[in-house]
Amino acid sequence: MGFNEAVKSVLSQYANFEGRARRSEYWYWTLANMLAVFSVFLLNILLSLIHESLAIIGGLLLLILILGGFIPSLAVAVRRLHDTGKSGWFLLLGVIPFGGIVLLVFECMEGNPGPNQYGPDPKGGFQGGPGYPMQPNQYQPYPPQQQYAPQQQYAQQQAFAPQQQQPYPPQQQYPPQQPYPGQQYPPQY
């Protein structure tokens, strides 16, 4: 899902707290929201440089933008948590110290493949067939296996017994070699 598609998707589901949202939808919306707030904030600064009373207009625009983006941001965050199999109430972790870090991890996690209790997979496509995860149902997971004869037809094999390892020979004490020129060995007592 691209940037424009994500923004259109979030705005079309303005107050929809049901279903699931992909990571791209959530993070592109967050980026668009931050860019819009930053742009209006810069506009507010420019208006205040022109005349101090114009800063009120920029402040009102910023307030309208923040209030207008609050509900869609909340809705897409709840749908994002639904995609990871978590309840929307996990958003309350954001008000606990260090809970925002846990919330950030949940929002960055890959969504559950296939349908979960909150709805179908927003990525669509496959539902995951037998065998490997995320494998389409129309393919067989493994190639057909050959049928082998029963085990009794083969000769009995002896049980595996590892060979006894030979012990290492004792290490010999070698006399020390001559030191490099200018070096001396410490005296041995």
> So where are the chain's domains?
3-108
Residue 34 confidence (pLDDT): 94
Residue 37 confidence (pLDDT): 93
| Residue in 54, 53, 33, 34 with CA at minimum distance from that of residue 43 | 54
* Distance from the Cα of residue 98 to its chain's centroid: 19
Measured CA to CA, the distance from residue 54 to residue 49 in angstroms comes to 9
Residue-wise burial string across 42-55, b where 16 or more C-beta atoms lie within 10 A, e elsewhere: eebeebbeeeeeeb
Residue 178 confidence (pLDDT): 63
Residue 33 confidence (pLDDT): 93
Q: Which residue has the tokens 């005296």?
A: 187
Query: Which ranges constitute the DSSP H helices of the chain?
Result: 3-12, 23-50, 55-83, 99-108
Global confidence as pTM: 0.61
Q: Please list the residues that pair with 57 across neighbouring strands.
A: none
If the chain, 189 residues long, is cut into consecutive pieces of 10 residues, what is the mean pLDDT of each piece?
A: 86 88 90 93 89 86 92 92 89 90 90 85 63 52 60 59 68 64 68
For residue 39 the two structure tokens come to 């742009």
Residue 16 confidence (pLDDT): 86
